[in-house]
Structure 1
Amino acid sequence: MVVQSKIPSLDGLRAASIVIVLIGHGQTLGDPWPGHVGVTVFFFLSGFLITTLLRREYEANQRISLGRFYLRRALRILPPAWIAITLCVIVGAAGILPSTMNIWGTLSEYLNYTNYYLVYADQVHGERTFGLPPESTQLWSLAVEEHFYLVFPLLLIVLTALRIRMRTIGWALLAAGGAVLVWRLVLSLEGAGFYRLYVSTDTKFDGLVIGAAMALLFNPALGDRPPFGIPEWIVNRVLAPVGVVVFVIAAISPEAPRLAVADSAICLALIPVFWFVITRPTSVAGRVLNHRWVAHLGVLSFSVYLLHRLVLGLVQLAGLEPWLSDLSAYLLVLIPAQLMFLLVERPLGRVRRDFEARLRPSGCVSPAGVRGEATVESMSATVRAHE
């Protein structure tokens, strides 16, 4: 299997994930719909893709540039997020949507600790949205990802400097995912509340590390083979369908097992599913995920995620039937998301590439520049936070 410069299907998976989230946050289906699953897929995908880029960089240069990594993440994530937060602040300050926002809740969003602020607000004030700008609670998942991005590359640099093999690190990451599962079970048995279990970084980063483990252990985009000598046809024809079944069962499980164990089951189930859609882009599922309109929705998914609650809330002011209000919001949010992509994300991508080129030492290859591969920005699923 050859190393792929453009990873198929990942933008399509982002598109599927954002659709799941949108439906879950709407009025029409609401609670019965497992919208949380979209965030779990986002976490797994982000861990997988970030680690793929870091592994490519290390294998090309025998080093990882922490400064360039932080620069890429800051320019990719922070400007769109801060713009979205500011829009929510303006809407709240103008009284267009009801809000109890205060300086502390607002700072939690700008400084990326919204998840722990939600836990605090729920425990102290009895209302998770207390102090936050209106329609912005989804930023808890961005905080989880930012915490991971802050620590994980530094950890990878330290471990590789100690001559620890990437595969050993991968198995350690899987063990870390198991430790998170045990920790959630302990907290659950001790009576921890919903938000303590659902949004805290220490209880939610297993999706990111399991995705990262796949990137180091059995990464089809980097030419790896399936684990334990399993034939690839078994992965694609047996394990991937089983993974889909496990995914669905875990997604619709009741709240108690979902909070404790279902997310870990979903992430493990995603391993063969990701293998299939990456290695079989011409399959029926692959063709759907790689359709240009589906892939473009995946490109917009970060901005859609940032803005969708605000748009849903504003459209609801019109007093439409719930299904019509939801459908209108789903379509309307694509407009500011496309503008964010054209006016913010794409220009900053060019700035980032130019700045990286000046910082790159002579002889170093960019993470996606191995063997004549495309740049990082041309990969089919450049990492964006979402969740």
Structure 2
Amino acid sequence: MPATPGSQTHGAFTIPSLDGLRAVAVLTVFIGHGAVGISTGFWPGHVGVTIFFFLSGYLITTLLRREYDRTGRISLRKFYLRRALRILPPAYIAIAVAVVVGALGWVAATTTPWGVLAELLSYTNYYIVIAGREGLPPDTTQFWSLAVEEHYYLVVPVVLLVLFRSRASLRTIGWSLAALALLVPVWRVLLGLTGAGFDRLYVSTDTRIDSLLFGTAMALLFNPVLARNGGSARITKWLNRRLGFIASFAVIVFVASALVPSQAFRLSVADTIQCLCLIPIFWFVITRPGSFAGRVLNSRVLVRLGILSFSVYLFHRLILNLVENVIGEPWVGDGVSLVLTLVVAQLVYWAVERPCGVLRKRLEAGMASRTV
């Protein structure tokens, strides 16, 4: 799901391992939405979104920290320009394609102007909470996670800029955000006890922001790509000495929590447990590229899939539905859908994402020249 799916590059800064993790996350989501995942009933596709959220929080905060450490400021204009050109063009194309496909009758659709407007304004998640899924363009309900991320983008960079300028220490900022993240599952439990339904707990920004905040806290406290951190040096040294064991244990706990069938568990503390596990996992894959896991995540296939993951995420449900109407066999249909989704994602990357990236750099250069 933005650093919802996509490549984490900013200038010369890139971490290929994170593109590999994006690939794992988007494949998890794809299988969960496919006929195989639905028919088995236990495939934890939702954890892919948790990984995307955590990654977004970590990556965006790392980029903002690098900019502030280098220049003493954060250009919010450039930040929002980057996010808008990264997210909106492919997302709007996906919405338009879904509307047209539904209007042609190729898939069942109940599209209304209000549903389209909700997606255009990044309000999909609360539209689902208030009005349900009826009215949205067909097979675009996954856009709820884009809405969560875009709400995060609107607020957190401004908050971080204010806190950085206030001279608050990284430790204070990081642990405060970690504490805020730990309050979110408490909020989910309280809402659940008062009768809140699945959608209210699962897709709302206020109930899912913790995954992004945990990623933000890691970028401030225990960031392996930055020299200065707010976390305890003792904890960092301890983590580094035992990282292989801790990361392996974290993977086991992460997978086990993902396979727990209880919906109450999933909607309350599952995300919290998984995000705590992602801290050593991220540390390992970033700092151990020569390990077996690092080599797999840095492989050309997974890195490429990670780069295409945003468009894969945008289009996969619509393509799954279209193929299902033609091919009845789930395994074959899912395989064909995956191939077609990758083809569409590559075309969108060539035709939209890459040109928008070039335009973004030109506009940023123009902004820089005007401020010199």
Q: TM-score, normalised by structure 1?
A: 0.89
How far apart are the structure 2 equivalents of 1:348 and 1:264? 35
Quote how far apart the aligned CAs of 1:360 are.
2.0
Please name the residue that 1:191 is paired with. 195
2:248 is matched with 241
Of residues 348, 354, 364, the one that matches 1:340 is 348
How far, CA to CA, are the matches of 1:168 and 1:76 in structure 2?
31
Determine the C-alpha separation between the residues in 1 that align with 2:37 and 2:102.
Answer: 26
Check the 8 A contact 1:315/1:329 in 2, yes or no: yes
Say whether residues 1:221 and 2:225 are aligned partners.
yes
Structure 2 match to 1:147: 151
Q: Deviations over 1:293-341 (max 9, x none)?
A: 1100000000000000010011011132111111110111011100111
Query: In the superposition, relative to structure 1, how do residues 257 and 296 fare at CA in structure 2: closer, same or farther (>3 Å)?
Result: same
The yes-or-no answer on 1:265 pairing with 2:302 is no
41-50 or 94-103, larger mean C-alpha shift? 94-103
Give the letter aligned to residue 248 of structure 2: P
The residue aligned with 1:354 is 362
Q: Return the structure number with greater helix share.
A: 2
1:201-253 CA-partner distances (Å, limit 9, x unpaired)? 00001010100110111100113577451324444123211211220121112
**2:297 corresponding residue in structure 1:** 289
Partners of 2:239 and 2:246 within 8 A in 1? no
The answer to whether the 8 A contact 1:180-1:202 is kept is: yes
Amino acid at match of 1:145: E
Deviation at 1:362, TM superposition (A): 8.2
- 1:379 corresponds in structure 2 to none
Correspondence list, 1:1-387, <5 A: 5-30=13-38, 31-121=41-131, 128-223=132-227, 227=232, 229-230=234-235, 231-253=238-260, 254-360=262-368
Which runs of no fewer than 5 residues in structure 1 stay unpaired?
122-127, 365-387
Residues in 1 aligned to 2:14 and 2:371: alpha-carbon distance in whole angstroms: 23
Aligned residues: 355
In structure 2, relative to structure 1, the CA distance for the partners of 1:233 and 1:153 (3 Å cut) is: closer
Q: C-alpha separation between the residues in 2 aligned to 1:363 and 1:228?
A: 38
Corresponding residue number in structure 2 for 1:383: none
What amino acid sits opposite 1:104 in the alignment?
Answer: W
How far apart, CA to CA, are the structure 2 residues paired with 1:158 and 1:274? 27
Q: 1:205 to 1:239 in 2, by over 3 A?
A: same
Deviations 1:32-68 (A, max 9, x none): 1000000000000011001100000000011101111
| Structure 2 runs not aligned, ≥5 long | 1-11
Equivalent position amino acid for 1:243 in 2 = A
CA shift at 1:6, angstroms? 3.2
Deviates more, 1:90-99 or 1:226-235: 226-235
**Per the alignment, do residues 202 and 235 of structure 1 end up closer, same or farther by CA in structure 2, a change over 3 Å counting?**
farther
For 1:159 and 1:104, the matched residues in 2 are separated by 37
Q: Deviations over 1:176-211 (max 9, x none)?
A: 101111101111111210000000000001010100
User: Does structure 1 retain, via aligned residues, the 8 Å contact 2:16–2:303?
Assistant: no
Q: 1:8 touches 1:277 (CA, 8 Å); kept in 2?
A: no
Task: Output the TM-score relative to the length of structure 2.
Answer: 0.92
> RCO (CA 8 Å, sep 6+): is it higher in 1 or 2?
1
CA deviations 1:353-382 (Å, max 9, x no partner) are: 111111126899xxxxxxxxxxxxxxxxxx
Q: For residue 300 of structure 1, what is the amino acid of its counterpart?
A: L
